[in-house]
Structures are given as structure tokens and as C-alpha cells.
Amino acid sequence: MKLSSKRILLRPVRESDAKDIHKNINDFDIYRYTENIPYPYKLKDALDFIKKCKKELKEKKTYHFGIIFEGKLVGGIGLHKADLKNKNAEVGYWLGKKYWNKGIVTDSLKLLIDFAFKKLKLHKLKARVFEPNIASKRVLEKNGFKVEGFFKDEIFKHKKFYNVHHLALLRKEYKG
């Protein structure tokens, strides 16, 4: 299963991606606004993550893709907590810092949304964003997501609580 545009290829992660995942994700600035990425991020974390992705793909719980840009894996994007009965899933993504501000996640998200609505026939996509992560919120809004809620002190990380924006996109609202 591969998704592609002129600039981006999304494909399932594989064992050979472990070093690229480790190199690109092992950065405090990526860790600080994500819920489940450890820091420091070890090569073993990448290998464990890849195994988990393969297992969850078989179970149709998660559809995780490596973001390939200029022939290299530079990030990851996926549909998590896929609920095929209720036709919804949560979107998540990360991108190596060296590749920020190039429109890579915006383009990757468009491919993922098309997959979710056209192939999986989902009805709703959801996303959660730490309040200070303005760039991530902007990526979602560029793709049609709208804020549905704002939750105070929802996530405890770095010995403090963070407010979180909940955004969503319905298939009927998507302009793709």
C-alpha cells in the first residue's frame, strides 16, 4: 500500500527504515509536543515501533506510513485508533526538524485524508494538538480540520500540564 503525489511518497515503515527514523525523530523539539515519542529516542525504539506498526496494520487498528521525500524517510504519518465500525480515526504525524517549513506534512496529510475517506470510507478524522504547537494546528487547518474543542490541562508532560486543541474533519466537509 503506497500513497503518492509529485513530491511525497507514503509507504508502510519497514525494518530498513529504523536508522532513518532514529536519526530524524531523536530531537527534543519533536518530542516536546508529542504524546508517545520518547526522548532520547534509541534505535531500539525505532525497531520496536516498526514491529508495532506491522502488527497493528494486520489488525486494522493503525495505518502508519513513512514519509519519503527526495528518496529519504524524513517523517511518519498515520491513522491511529482506527474505529472502522464507527468510521473514524485519529491522525498523527512527525517530521525531522531539518525538513520543517517545506509543506511536507501538509502534502502528506492530504494523501492520508484521501486514503481515509476514499479507501477506508471513514466518516470523521480527529487530531489533538498541544496548544503551543501552532505549526501543527496550521497544517491541520490547511487541510480543512476545524477546532471542535479546547481542553485545559489535558496532558501532563515535562512536569507540567498542557492545554490541547481537538480538531476534526468530516468527509462531507473535505474539499479534496
Q: What is the pLDDT of residues 42-94, one digit of tens each?
A: 999 999 999 999 998 888 789 999 999 999 999 999 999 889 899 999 999 99
173 touches 132 (CB < 8 A): no
Predicted confidence band of residue 115 (pLDDT cuts 50, 70, 90): very high
Q: Who has greater pLDDT, 15 or 61?
A: 15
User: What are residue 45's phi and psi, to 5 degrees?
Assistant: -60, -40
Q: How far is CA 88 from CA 10, 71, 122, 127, 163, in A?
A: 20, 31, 5, 11, 23
pLDDT band for 175, please (50, 70, 90 cuts): confident
- The pTM score is 0.93
Give the mean pLDDT of the chain: 94
Q: What pLDDT score was predicted for residue 36?
A: 85
Within the chain, how many helices (H) and strands (E) appear? 5, 8
Give pLDDT, residue 84: 87
Domains of the chain, with CATH numbers? Answer: 3-127 (3.40.630.30)
- State residue 67's pLDDT score: 98
Radius of gyration of the chain (CA): 15
| Dihedral over Cα of 41, 32, 52, 17: its sign | negative
Residue 176 has pLDDT above 80, yes or no: no
Distance CA 135, CA 38 (A): 21
Residue 25: its pLDDT value, please?
95
**Which is more confident, 51 or 36?**
51
Check if the beta carbon of residue 21 is closer than 8 Å to that of residue 27.
no
Residue with cell 530524524: 24
Closest CA to 100 of 131, 130, 138: 138
